[in-house]
Amino acid sequence: MKGHQIILGSVAGREGAALISDGVLQDLILDTDTPRPGTIYRAKATRPVKGQGGMFFDTPEGSAFLRGAKGLAPGDMRLVQVSGYAEPGKAIPITDRILFKSRYAIATPDAPGINISRSIRDEEVRVALRATADAYEADLGTCGLIVRSAAADADLDAVAEDIEHILGIACAVVQDAGSDIEKLIEGPGPQELAWRDWPDAHPDEGDLAPHLSTAGQAQYALQGGGSLWVENTRAFVAVDVNTGTDTSPAAGLKANIAAARDLPRVLRLKGLGGQIVVDFAPMPKKDRRALETALRTAFKADTVETSLLGWTVLGHFELTRKRARAPLSEVL
């Protein structure tokens, strides 16, 4: 099937959503039992971590950890937002740089200014969107506003309605006068994320089980006959690239470039982040630059923050990736 298709459903009582593009599963999100990223708390600072510049907080859903905490003392109250999924046995990761995201706009408290997504290049569209956003300048206060790339093809009335909605939520939370530990906003679930972040498509109710099987497999076939193996260990995510039956001199480079292009999708499906080590298929060192270019291009288009660190002495490639999803194996 050509084009985008969104499937909404549930697995074992968990809400889920799957994105399929041109017949290929691109993303799969399942709800978890842990706090959702995007959840906002009024939390209390409890214990600093010397040498790391961090602070532990008490929240209604357990202990949380804020990196780079400055000017905070135990007992201080602060609005914080869940920034990712915690590893088993660790505190909830949080940030004090709160964002309120919707389909067409992002409200940014304490970061004033109106900005249009740089990926919108059509000048007429940028001018029209800027005029739409400027109409709400008086309502911003200390908030800023970012018009997202999805607004480029949207009706201006829909964009205006979305801006008004998200600014209303942001103002209500920021101006909240409470003083106790409290959950103020629940983070978006899988189906809300699908509406907010995925390409415009008509969602369908359907069976997610076949897509769950695809995402959960350890081996993924690559274009050209190679294969990609992904295993999550306690220490890091191990990725192995094989050339398959191709024995030509360029087999290694071809399989590696195919793996580089598909790696962001596979990590997304499996919900994997943290430290990742890739054992690429054997190839001449002179081909590394072409492979690095393919990796940068692939991860630049991905929505999850990833840092490409480079080659080890053993010839493996290392990268780190934000834990934006819970590992699929843990969810189930």
Question: Of 303 and 314, which is predicted with more confidence?
Answer: 314
How big, in percent rounded to 5, are the helix, strand and coil portions of the chain?
30, 35, 40
Q: Are 37 and 324 in contact (CB under 8 A)?
A: yes
**Exposed (0-12), middle (13-18) or buried (19+): which is 307, by Cβ within 10 Å?**
exposed
pLDDT tens string 248-302: 889 999 999 999 999 999 999 999 999 999 999 999 999 999 999 999 999 999 9
Overall pTM surpassing 0.75 (yes/no): yes
- CA quadruple 102, 104, 110, 113: dihedral, nearest 10: -170
Domains of the chain: 1-31+189-216 (no CATH), 40-95 (2.40.50), 100-188 (3.30.230.10), 218-331 (3.40.630)
Question: Of 131 and 2, which is predicted with more confidence?
Answer: 131
Q: If pLDDT is split at 50, 70 and 90, which confidence band does 1 have?
A: low
Could you count the other beta carbons within 10 Å of the beta carbon of residue 200? 11
Residue 2 has pLDDT above 80, yes or no: no
Residue 207 has pLDDT above 70, yes or no: yes
The two beta strands, 237-242 and 227-232, are: antiparallel
Q: Write down the pLDDT at residue 332.
A: 74
Q: Write down the pLDDT at residue 186.
A: 96
